[in-house]
Amino acid sequence: MKSILRITVFVLITLVLILSIVPPIVETPKNFFEFPLIPGLEDKAKIIFFHVPTAWLTVIAYLIAMLYGIRFLKTKDIYNDMKSVSSAALGIVFCFLATLTGSVWAKFTWGSFWHWDPRETSIFILLLIYGAYFALRSALDNEEKRARLSAIYSILAFLTTPFFIFIMPRLMIGLHPGALEIDPTTGQVKASSNPVIKFEMAENMRVVFFLSLTAFTLLFFWLWNLSYRVLRLKYKLQTEMQES
Amino acid sequence: METLVQFLEKNSIYIVLIIVLIVWFGIYFFIYGLDKKVKKIEEKLEK
């Protein structure tokens, strides 16, 4: 089962890399291997295949961290805490990657690396919230107590995640796709007209996009499993050494 | 620096390359960290 996962991750990521980079951007696509031109974006439109999956994995990782946190509180099984913390660690890695990739893109699309756009502010706060999670963990020596407190914290922290990722950036005026816009003719605030957020992507781009989401999600599960196994090994070795 | 920015603005596929590289570096350093943890476990086992 696991070898199937590893092979699938390899094949899918390779496929996504080729399919996202190779197709040329043309004004009127005539065949399946051409992407349509979005004025002002050109090739930069291809960032969606890499930036959005990282943000998506952030949410998945934090959700899993919370679910295993709840599980730990129910069962008091330390292995659930290990699953929770390894997921949260991956979540912070991908949250950081989403911020960095978005920031590089912003430099060439909006003009500078950082604007304090609602989307940038919300992901920054999210980074701080989960940074505090690891500060909390490293401050506690007692294993039981650390697991219990961080499980509770992971629940509280995840409650804010949908708000910062899905709600706040859509309620405020901003530059990021999905944010409210000011209509240039009437001067009034209107809903996002960005084609990306309404999933009005070209058919072939949508295929690559969902392929990419699947590939990155599978990659996440592999990395999560690996880091959990390392933590478990470390724990088993420690307890065995204490016993002997 | 100025010319590099201008070059990237004209050839935006390289911006996509930078972004793919950032994601790859992130994943690489995560695996590197795991490798270090495994090494520590191995050292403990040796003792």
Lowest mean pLDDT among A83-87, A127-131, A199-203: A199-203
Mean pLDDT, chain A, integer? 89
Q: Compute the distance between CA of residue A125 and CA of residue A200 in angstroms, rounded to an integer.
A: 30
Half-sphere exposure of A78 (CA within 13 A, CB side): 12
Using CB atoms and an 8 Å cut-off, which of residues 4-43 of chain B contact chain A? 5, 8-9, 11-13, 15-20, 22-23, 26-27, 30-31, 34, 37-38, 40-41
Helix (H) or strand (E) holding B19: helix B13-46
pLDDT of residue A158: 95
pLDDT tier, A43 (very low <50, low <70, confident <90, very high otherwise): confident
pLDDT tens per residue, range A188-210? 787 776 655 555 678 888 899 99
- The stretches of chain A forming alpha helices (DSSP H) are 2-21, 48-75, 78-109, 118-139, 143-162, 168-171, 203-243
* The token pair that represents B2 in the structure block: 């100025």
**CA distance, residue B46 to nearest chain A CA (Å):** 12
- Chain A positions touching B44 (Cβ under 8 A) are 237, 241
pLDDT tier, A171 (very low <50, low <70, confident <90, very high otherwise): confident
* The token pair that represents A163 in the structure block: 């708000």
Lowest mean pLDDT among A105-119, A125-139, A147-161, B29-43: A105-119
- Chain A positions touching B38 (Cβ under 8 A) are 230, 233
Contact B44 A241 (CB under 8 A): yes
Residue A41 pLDDT exceeds 90? no
Give the mean model confidence (pLDDT) for residues A1-10.
Answer: 86
Q: Compute the distance between CA of residue A96 and CA of residue A98 in angstroms, rounded to an integer.
A: 5
